[in-house]
Amino acid sequence: MTVTEEKRSQILDAAVSEFQELGFAGSSMDRIACRANVSKRTVYNHFESKEALFRAILDLMAATLNEALDIAYEPARPIEPQLHDLGWAEGKLMTSAPFMRLARMAVGETLRDPELAAEMNRKLEKISVFREFVTAAHADGAINARNAEEAAEQFLGLLKSQAFWPSVFSGQVVTQAQMERIVESTVQMFLHTYGVKEPG
């Protein structure tokens, strides 16, 4: 990491702490510079405003999501382990303390600002990954889910209701063991509803 990249990372970390503690409106570039142990000029050299800082944090989250959810249906593999992998693609983020810290900050701030909430939804909405997986698996005959959007929302909803939202509200990140149980129960419930029954 170059010095410039390190400074940018320090500023982003400081901004997350500032926004979490004081909210977007109550935060200041002066305090963010102080938290980051850099000059105010350095902060503005990287980010022209608080809004730019917040959007950079959303971009960082989006990039992390895109990398984690780079997964597609594979016709040659059994469906159950693939669903397990799909659940863990999201589960890895939900067990990541740094990512969930960003998520708590972003969710808390967007509750105060509908425009930021809409932007966050545009950048972080990844239901399409799950929908495309379900669509491909259904077309291949591996599952019976004619309404791919609904099935994808149910799969992701089962994960988030047990791991993401409790962490956002409590600040406690689920453990690997807890996430394993959540993923396994989600996969089994999904297959109970959409699994293809063997003849006989």
pLDDT at 199: 57
pTM (predicted TM-score): 0.80
d(CA 102, CA 98): 6
Cα gap 63→145, rounded to integer Å: 29
Domains of the chain from N-terminus onward: 1-48 (1.10.10.60), 54-194 (1.10.357.10)
Which pLDDT belongs to residue 147?
96
Which residue ranges in the chain fall short of pLDDT 50?
A: 200
Q: What angle do CA 170, 69, 106 make, to 5 degrees?
A: 35
